[in-house]
Amino acid sequence: MADSSIPCIVLAGGLGTRLKEITNDLPKPMAMINGKPFLHYVFVYLTRQKIKKAILSVGYKAFVIESYFGDKYLDVEITYVKEKEPLGTGGGIKKAFERISDYAFVLNGDTFFDIDLGALKEFHFSTEADISLALKPMKNFDRYGTVQMKEERIVQFEEKKPLAEGLINGGVYFFSKNILDTVAEEKFSFEKEVLEKSVSEKKLNGKVFENYFIDIGIPEDFQKAQEDFKQMGS
């Protein structure tokens, strides 16, 4: 389990373009899974991981998320950081870090990777990483880019292509706010402008988790989540 004093940034500003007919033009994390928003299950997960504080980076129709979750949901206190215009994943993370003094977990509000956050944090410090990434082994896929490793260090990010097997970035991170100090832009991609550009300069370490992973970005996986989450409880 995670250290309850460490907050978690949740990126919840996505529009959900490919799910528009399903979400009725709501933010993607508000897509309904068995009668509850996908983000509800993220908070169930954070509660189980003993996270006590979440900073939600919100943008598109932020009021929908705020009105549903309020200032506290389950056992998690919530602070909202609002994007007046889409800032990209990097911009959203950087803005959220304005509310944090040091380290934080970072995850997406439209994916679910059921890892032990405490194990990721311990891995981070034991390997003296600059940024630690949770990696997921996948088979027979073409939706995701992959990472190449040398021991625990990530040495290359590769573009999307059909693969029989590979390791993908699971979208869960642990690092300190000072990592973004050198980024002057307000609007940028964390994956492109930070991870890919600094792979040879910073120590980006990846820990492989076999745990359950789903990304509801396409209708097929949105429907799959309806069945999968029945087994997880509410």
Backbone angles phi, psi at 122, to 5 degrees: -65, -40
Concatenate the DSSP letters of all residues of 70-134 into one string.
TTEETTEEEEEEE-SS--HHHHHHHHHGGG-SSEEEEEETTEEE---HHHHHHHHHHTT-SEEEE
In a domain, 1, yes or no: no
Whether the CB-CB separation of 97 and 194 falls below 8 Å is answered with: no
Average pLDDT, the chain: 91
CATH number for the domain harbouring residue 94: 3.90.550.10
Burial 78-105 (b: 16+ CB within 10 A, else e): bebbebeeebbbbbbbbbbbeebeebbb
In a domain, 128, yes or no: yes
Choose among 109, 21, 100: nearest CA to 58.
Answer: 109
State both tokens at 172: 């869960």
pTM: 0.94
Look up the domain containing 133 and give its range: 8-231
In a domain, 88, yes or no: yes
Whether the CB-CB separation of 31 and 19 falls below 8 Å is answered with: yes
Q: Among all chains, which residue has been given the structure tokens 């939600």?
A: 56
* Tens digits of pLDDT across the chain (234 residues): 666 789 999 999 876 555 555 656 788 899 899 999 999 999 999 999 999 999 999 998 899 999 999 999 999 999 999 988 889 999 999 999 999 999 999 999 999 999 999 999 999 999 999 999 999 999 998 889 999 999 999 999 999 888 899 999 999 999 999 999 888 889 999 999 999 999 999 999 999 999 999 998 878 888 999 999 987 755
In a domain, 2, yes or no: no
In a domain, 91, yes or no: yes
74: left (phi over 0), alpha (psi -120 to 50) or beta: left
Q: How far apart are CA 6 and CA 174, in angstroms?
A: 10
In a domain, 32, yes or no: yes
State both tokens at 230: 């029945």
In a domain, 154, yes or no: yes
Looking at the structure of the chain, the number of domains it has is: 1
In a domain, 3, yes or no: no
